[in-house]
Structure 1
Amino acid sequence: MKDPLVLGFVLVALDVALWRAAFPRNDTIRLLLRLVIFALLSALLFESALSPFTPAPWPESPGRHLAAQIVEVSWWLIGARLLTLSLDAVFRSRHWHKERLFQDVLGALVFLAAVVASLAFVLGLPVTGLVATSGALAIVLGLAIQSTLSDVFAGIVLNTTEPYHIGNWVSVDGVEGKVLEMNWRATHLLTSQGNVVIVPNSVAAKAKITNSSRPVALHGVSITLQISPEERPATVLGALERAIEGSSMVLQSPEPYTLVKKATINSIEYEVTVYIDDIGKSVVVTNQLYDLCHRHLAAAGIELWPLSVPRPPRHDAVDSRQRLLSHVELFRALKGEEIEALAKRLSRHEYEADQVIVKSEEVTDYLMIVESGVISVMVEGPSGPVESARLGPGDSIGEAGVLAGLPVQAQVTALTRAVIYRLDKTDLTPLLKSRPEVGQQMCHLLSQRQDSLRKLNTEIPVPAGTEHTLLDWLRAGMHKLHDLTT
């Protein structure tokens, strides 16, 4: 067992086992263990006259001579790999380490040097002749892999100029996605559909690149709407501005804006532009803006109707109330005559901007339905008042009061000039008796709202000692307050 060749093969096998098994899991610890094994192998070879800088010492014994050459060549290759990993670990904190290009190119150069050195020192081959032969071979290979070489040099340019980094959301050559990897040949992008698109570096270096992750905390979102030219632009712009006000995810600086982009005989095109602090919110904010714009345009009496279709007659005041109730989620299951009966009992109330509509802990015996404007709902959080929601046309609040006589537990304030319709508890009782599913739906909606309130450490206080859920407790309160049969 004291034979240096046997010990050398054992150390080489142990190093290969650590490399292939990736054990231990920690890269730094595994690298240190491999460096210790390499140091032991180096000491073994130099102390036993098996120097990697000289040919194997047993030419008279072909078997031992070949084994010695294998051990010495392995020393060069293992040393090249460990040198690459060591340099990689040293520069790990540097920014360019995130890309694999330098790691791959550096590793290739180190391995090439190790191969040439092992051929010269261990096998005793003439390096000058080899270099001359390899020069002609390099020309042939260069012509054969010129596209690959183009990717390599383009990758060097990309890593030097740094148009994007790992984790950035970019658009390269018309492909939009998140940068997963940058290596010596290509950039890997993860698209919003969950597909991985590989863009060659030579293509990326010539293409127009849009980096949506820079600047880090600012991203623009724009939508366009085509409205009938019969509608006055000032009225449309006012409705769109209220729609922007209805989103709490929009940054106030830079200030969002709306503008008229183009006017034709068929339509007037409007653009709404807002800014967000996270590119991941762009889809949610875009969908929210379209919904808010639709609701506020409808509240302003602007109907999205194609010119090629005859416009229906304008609704009168009663019809507008019926239309408002039909868009409220609580009353969508009602029949036409039921909507008409409720609409006649609505009372109209106007509020100016910053006017308090309902104070916190106030018990309201009426349901409030927003007809136009933007309403802010503020609840008391652990560190002070926190906005829990913004309400727009078609939204309702006050279900807790008309259902079970509970306080609103939030301060409701008008952010813009607003119009709110009220439906009193006494007017709602006949509907709850004839259509119990409406009351059940209101209880479900109110209980679901508690999920967001729990995150703010604010929720409806359920009496201590009860074994019922919040939903059951609301149902019991509704039956008691409206004298409903169980």
Structure 2
Amino acid sequence: MTLLDEGWVWWAVGIAVGVPLLLVVLTELVNNLTRSGNPAAGPLRLLRNWIVPVGALLALLIFAFQTDVDNPWPRVVATIFGFLVILLVLSAFNVALFANAKDGSWRERIPTIFVEIVRLLLVVVGLAFLFQWVWGADVGGLIATLGVTSIVIGLALQNAVGGVISGLLLLFEQPFKIGDWLDVGSVRGRVIEVNWRAVHIDTGSGIQIIPNSTLSGASFTNLSQPEGPKHVTTDVKFTTDDPPHEVIALLVEVADSLPMRVPDERATAEYAGAGAYSVTLPIASPAMEQYALSLYLAWLWYAARRRGLALDGDATDPIAEPGQLERALAVVGPTLHLGEQERELVLSTARLERYGTGEIVQPTGVLPSDIRFVVEGHARMAVEVAGGRIDFATVESGDYIGQTALTREKTLTTVVAADVLTVMVVPLETVDALVRQRPMLAAEIGASIELKRKLASQAIADAGIVRGTLGSR
């Protein structure tokens, strides 16, 4: 009988040759999957680094060395090998089910803690059967003991465990996510943390911590869902003497000029009778709600005074008091080169207006019917471009806005109040009369138009935007 007739020799040769070849193949697969970012590289790496070597050792002990099965070493190696196989199977299932889960699918919504708990339970059950198979251990009593112990612990900790279970169910359902805005009764704010026990909400004045058991047992509103414009409603009052359609037009005009309004979404206003109106503002995020309402009501106060409408039943305006127009004329008089006769003409036709910080004094693309002279405060001049505005000049006290009324051309710039702005509005007919009597005024207005046009063109060029030359202001 030759050596080759011995069965253990073939096992030894097979292991000595096959294991290195298998390791080379697995190494190439792992490297390729790692470079491509494939999650399957993890289970294959476990197979290459641990299972194949331990399996080879087990095969050597049992088949090549023909070690007695009652010897503890084969059992120890078999136990380790079985444990590694359990880990491999669980890892493969994890990759197959959750690694490539699509956004919004049930697999993607399952919290990691659920997966870990199930994995731990499967490992414990697998080890129990492994010890029973390899060592012949009686695991029935152990399982019964663990069951009774878990019941006792569950009864003792039912309140704490109830909160944890509520948190896990909340995490699984995912009715909100980090960054969403919630309205939970008296609590309103942004979610900044969600854990097993509680939800942390930033209310702006502190962090409100709401237990998951409380949240899961109550109703709440997710202000961030569904995605899209968030509609904020506010109620305002005017007098019954104010024409409803004029008031509605004013409410919508002011709302549409808000900077946080969602593009391509229009505000709406409804008349409820008895001077009461409801306005709905489309804004981008619940985070802007309070600021949007505050800014809207502030701008509406100025706009209502300019239209002579009585917001909250009050139409009085401090700048309409006697003597205010004369004081304003003292500021802008040198710009107009007024004589006594021209002074009386301006006083009889001009009026004062005020604008809140950020309000648009003059939009782009309109044909002005009057010229505004800055009395107090200052404004920013800007050109509208894709993605926003480019500021290029500041309008100071004594300067004018809307000079293109004199040349009968539409405006190509936007003027925005940089702070509370008071202007004197002079009708075009009055300006024409002044120009006829003071030709120098026409030359100065023309020079101002040309200067602002050059500044606007330069600002656009500095921003790297290709655009036709501005023909007018």
Asked if 2 retains the 8 angstrom alpha-carbon contact of 1:398 and 1:408, the reply is no
Q: Could you say if the C-alpha distance between residues 235 and 203 of structure 1 is closer, same or farther in structure 2, counting changes exceeding 3 Å? A: same
How big is the shift at 1:399?
4.0
SS of the counterpart of 2:225? coil
Pair 1:214-2:225 in alignment: yes
Among 275, 281, 298, the residue aligned to 2:305: 298
Q: Does the alignment pair 1:91 with 2:101?
A: yes
Alignment correspondent of 2:426: 421
Residues 75-128 of structure 1, C-alpha deviations (whole Å, 9 max, x = no match): 434643553344211434443445453x32133112211122113314744221
- 8 Å contact 2:101–2:108 — kept in the other structure? no
**Aligned with residue 275 of structure 1, among 279, 282, 289:** 282
Please say which structure displays the higher CA radius of gyration: 2
**Given that residues 167 and 196 in structure 2 are in contact (C-alpha distance below 8 angstroms), is that contact kept between their aligned partners in structure 1?**
yes
Query: CA 1:312 to 1:115, structure 2 compared with 1: closer, same or farther past 3 Å?
Result: closer
TM-score by length of 2: 0.56
TM-score where L is the length of structure 1: 0.55
Matched, 1:76 2:86: yes
Amino acid at match of 1:245: E
Matches within 5 A, 1:399-418: 399=401, 401=403, 409-410=411-412
Cα 1:455–1:110 shift into 2, 3 Å: same
**Against the structure 1 CA distance between its residues 317 and 257, is the aligned structure 2 distance closer, same or farther, given a 3 Å change threshold?**
farther
- Map of 1:116 onto structure 2: 125
Secondary structure of residue in 1 paired with 2:40: helix
Q: Does structure 1 residue 367 correspond to structure 2 residue 374?
A: no
Partner of 1:35: 43
2:252: which partner in 1? Answer: 244
1:139 aligns with 2:143: no
Gaps of 5+ in 1: 262-267, 326-335, 350-356, 371-376, 390-395, 413-418, 434-438, 463-473, 475-486
Q: d(CA) in 2 for partners of 1:129 and 1:86?
A: 35
Between the aligned partners of 2:458 and 2:190, the Cα distance in structure 1 is 34
What letter is aligned with 1:176?
Answer: R
Cα distance between partner residues in 1 of 2:322 and 2:461? 36
Q: CA deviation at 1:137?
A: 0.8
Further displaced range: 34-43 or 168-177: 168-177
Are residues 1:256 and 2:269 paired? Answer: yes
Residues 1:36 and 1:387: Cα distance change in structure 2 (over 3 Å): closer
8 Å Cα contact 1:96-1:159 kept in structure 2: no
Partners in 1 of 2:216 and 2:282 — Cα distance?
A: 29
Give, as a single letter, the amino acid of the residue that structure 1 aligns with 2:83: V
CA RMSD of aligned residues (A): 6.2
The partner residue of 1:286 within 277, 293, 312 is: 293
Contact 1:57 1:65 in 2 (8 A): no
1:165/1:274 CA distance change after superposition, 3 Å: same
Task: Say if 1:259 and 1:283 are closer, same or farther in 2 by CA, change over 3 A.
Answer: same
1:446-457 mapped onto 2 (5 Å cutoff): none
Are the aligned partners of 1:219 and 1:276 in contact in 2 as well (CA < 8 Å)? yes
State percent identity of aligned pairs. 18
Cα-to-partner distance string for 1:158-211 (whole Å, 9 max, x where unaligned): 46766445654322354434456666555455x364977654332221222112
Matches within 5 A, 1:385-396: none
Partner of 1:338: 331
CA 1:138–1:75 in structure 2 vs 1: closer, same or farther (change >3 Å)?
Answer: same
SS of residue matched to 2:224: coil
Does structure 2 conserve the Cα–Cα contact (< 8 Å) formed by 1:173 and 1:207? no
C-alpha contact 1:360 1:410 (8 A) present in aligned 2: yes
SS at structure 1 position matched to 2:233: strand
Distance 1:156 1:305, change over 3 A: closer
Matches within 5 A, 1:175-190: 175-179=187-191, 185-187=197-199, 189=201
| Contact 2:382 2:456 (8 Å CA) reproduced | no
Structure 2 stretches lacking a partner, 5+ long: 1-12, 61-66, 337-342, 352-361, 375-380, 392-397, 415-423
CA–CA distance in 1 between the matches of 2:299 and 2:116? 55
- Aligned residue for 2:212? 201
Instruction: Decide whether aligned partners of structure 1 residues 152 and 282 sit closer, same or farther in structure 2, where only a CA change above 3 A counts.
Output: same
**Secondary structure of the residue that 1:368 maps to in structure 2?**
strand
Q: Go from structure 1 to structure 2 and tell me whether the alpha carbon gap of 1:120 and 1:185 turns closer, same or farther (over 3 Å shift).
A: farther
| Whole-angstrom distance in 2 between the partners of 1:399 and 1:42 | 82
Matches within 5 A, 1:324-335: none
| 2:221 match: secondary structure | strand
Aligned residue pairs total 378
1:171 — aligned with what? Answer: 183
Cα deviation for residue 366 of structure 1 reads: 7.2
- State the partner residue of 1:128: 140
Residues 387-438 of structure 1 show CA distances to partners (whole Å, capped at 9, x for unaligned) of 999xxxxxx9974848xx99765399xxxxxx953585979x99xx9xxxxx
Q: Closer, same or farther in 2 for the Cα pair 1:254/1:288, shift >3 Å?
A: closer
